[in-house]
């Protein structure tokens, strides 16, 4: 087993991957809807509890749903910081969009122009990127970070900006010895971006669920381990009481 500050959270994988996820590394997990990638992301977050501060950015689940998923597997959600970016974005950007549309359509009253003046609004205009990077910049010790999922960033940012965010996260990991896992669910993103993201990543996993007979069988593909192509693996995965486990010990390709 690697040192506790390196573990990914899947015991069989941690044992077989000699490097696991060293401080300073960033992993990318791809897995479409139904593959179980969100659970693996949470499992990775849980593995950091008690070792370093854990930040979990969710972009499509309610905070309560994340907490319940943790509780289902006996993990302590209170030990991690859950940030609901989708809720924040809705409150700060989408609601404002509705207010602006209504003001433009219906006009403004004098009261709206003079009461509750949002004097500081311009200064605090919401930026998804700034919001996240400010959190990271405030941490000067090793940390563990999960973004589930990066797809949301594609909805609100240009592809180039998403790459910049990923690059900043990686840089921060390298600077203070952090570990990050970025989950990507959709397979429809620009291949050039996905290529850039996978180039930045030190580890790349892919989780796929495929029908077999009357059920789905899930396979974990370890597609990239930086400097250790010999550690690439393909292994069947299943969900147990403690989250994802690998049904077989991963078999080396060579």
Partner 1 sequence: MEVPPENPAAASPPVEGGLMAPATALERCVTGIEGLDNILSGGIPKGNMVLVAGSVGTGKTTLCLEFLVRGAERGERSLFLSVTEASDKLIQNLSTFEFFRADLVTNGSLVFVDLPVIYDRLGLEHEELSEDEIGILIRTIRDLVRQLGVKRLVLDSLTSVGYRIRRDERIRDFMLRLGLELSDAGCTSLLVSEIGPVAGRYSLHGVEEAIVDGVVLLWNTRRQGDILRVLQIIKMRGTSHSQAQYVIELTPIGLLLAPHLKGGRMEGP
Candidate list 18, 94, 95, 108; residue touching partner 1; CB under 8 A: 108
Instruction: Kindly tell me which residue out of 62, 64, 121, 253 binds partner 1, with binding defined by CB under 8 A.
Output: 121
Structure tokens at 248: 């077989």
Residues 6+ apart with CB under 8 A from 228: 18, 19
* The binder of partner 1 chosen from 97, 195, 229, 252 (CB under 8 A): 97
Closest approach of Cβ 198 to partner 1, in Å?
35
**Measured between alpha carbons, how far is 225 from 71 in angstroms, rounded to an integer?**
31
Buried b / exposed e across 189-228, counting CB within 10 Å, b at 16+?
beeebbebbeebbbbbbbbbbeeeeeeeebbbbbbbbeee
Q: Does 110 bind partner 1 (CB under 8 A)?
A: yes
Count of CB atoms within 10 A of residue 43's CB? Answer: 24
For partner 1, give the closer residue by CB, 117 or 227.
117
Closest CA relative to residue 40, chosen from 245, 251, 249:
245
Say how far apart CA 12 and CA 117 lie, in whole Å: 57
How many CB atoms within 10 Å of residue 137? 13
- Give the residue, chosen from 109, 175, 188, 238, that forms a contact with partner 1 under the rule CB under 8 A: 109
Would you tell me the crossing angle of helices 37-47 and 63-72 to the nearest 10 degrees? 70
Total interface residues for partner 1 by CB under 8 A: 19
Q: How far is the CB of 32 from partner 1 (least distance, A)?
A: 36
Q: Which C-beta is closer to partner 1: that of 117 or that of 254?
A: 117
Contacting range for partner 1; rule: CB under 8 A; set: 51-59, 97-105, 137-145, 206-214: 97-105
C-alpha 57/C-alpha 123 separation (Å) is 24
Q: Which is nearer to partner 1, 111 or 241 (CB)?
A: 111
Cross-strand pairs, 30 = 184, 206
**123 touching partner 1, by CB under 8 A:** no
Among 112, 124, 186, 238, binds partner 1 (CB under 8 A): 112
| 107 interacts with partner 1 by CB under 8 A | yes
Least distance (Å) from partner 1 to the CB of residue 98? 10
* Identified binder of partner 1 from the candidate list 2, 13, 14, 117, rule CB under 8 A: 117
Contact with partner 1 (CB under 8 A): which of 95, 100, 134, 137? 100
Instruction: Quote the least distance from Cβ 118 to partner 1, whole Å.
Output: 6
Neighbours of 69 (CB within 10 A): 18
Enumerate binding residues for partner 1 (CB under 8 A). Answer: 96-97, 99-100, 103-104, 107-110, 112-114, 117-119, 121-122, 125
């Amino acid at each position: 087993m690697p040192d506790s500050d390196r573990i990914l959270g899947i015991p069989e994988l941690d044992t077989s991957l000699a490097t696991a996820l060293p401080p300073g590394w960033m992993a990318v997990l791809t897995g479409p809807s139904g593959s179980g990638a969100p659970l693996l992301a949470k499992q990775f977050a849980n593995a950091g509890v008690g070792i370093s501060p854990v930040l979990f950015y969710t972009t499509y689940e309610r905070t309560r749903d994340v907490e319940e998923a943790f509780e289902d597997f006996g993990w302590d959600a209170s030990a991690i910081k859950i940030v609901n970016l989708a809720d924040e974005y809705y409150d700060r950007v989408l609601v404002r969009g509705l207010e602006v549309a209504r003001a433009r359509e219906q006009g403004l009253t004098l009261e709206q122009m003079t009461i509750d003046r949002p004097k500081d609004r311009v200064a605090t205009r919401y930026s998804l990127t700034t919001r996240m990077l400010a959190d990271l910049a405030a941490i000067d010790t090793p940390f563990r970070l999960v973004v589930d999922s990066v797809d949301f960033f594609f909805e609100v940012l240009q592809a180039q900006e998403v790459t910049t965010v990923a690059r900043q996260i990686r840089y921060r990991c390298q600077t203070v010895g952090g570990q990050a896992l970025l989950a990507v669910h959709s397979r429809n993103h620009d291949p050039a971006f996905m290529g850039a993201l996978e180039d930045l990543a030190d580890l790349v996993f892919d989780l796929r669920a495929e029908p077999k007979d009357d059920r789905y069988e899930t396979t974990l593909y370890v597609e990239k381990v930086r400097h250790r192509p010999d550690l690439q693996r393909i292994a069947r995965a299943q969900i147990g009481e403690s989250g994802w486990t690998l049904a077989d010990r991963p078999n080396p390709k060579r």
